[in-house]
Structure 1
């Protein structure tokens, strides 16, 4: 449904390291580089239309919540660990959220800008 979305961040370099780390386990990479102004992340070969996530240098907005699709539960776990290792804060550790649906496996982090980011896998193990 969403083709692309972006957020502004105060420190593009710190956020580049954080988002490169958390998005790699999900199969996303920095595919467009317009440093020092911004960068875009998507599937590395751009053959799968997964949408694009943009980081821009600028004044951050109010905290947002957004979720990235994960290909597996292991990828959700890796997203969470990578985020903690690069300055993210725990919000909800990886687990099933049966109140959403029986296979909703997700982890939530607070990024360096205060945004709640999530990785979610909808498939059964």
Structure 2
């Protein structure tokens, strides 16, 4: 059985981004919230976002609450944060595969990719 994992690196300080709220939603008729969690001190979640029978094929949205994170870090961002929520929409095709979605984050931009 496969799993879905993520991690976040804060490029503005070169460290893992701890205590970032992540919401995972499965798209469909209801757009249901599947999981809500926070990153640990290593910028990862303590357990896979989905694993085993929880991981089903379909389209998902992962929301990373970047604005709240940078506000908690007291990063100077003029009047208000530029990025509030980074939204990544993706497809999981094979429930037996491992999926990893890393996020490289700064107060003014980000990069996301399919990791391994």
TM-score scaled to structure 1, two decimals?
0.27
Higher strand share: 2
Bigger RCO (CA 8 Å, 6+ sep): 2
Looking at secondary structure, tell me which structure has more helix per residue.
1
TM-score by length of 2: 0.28
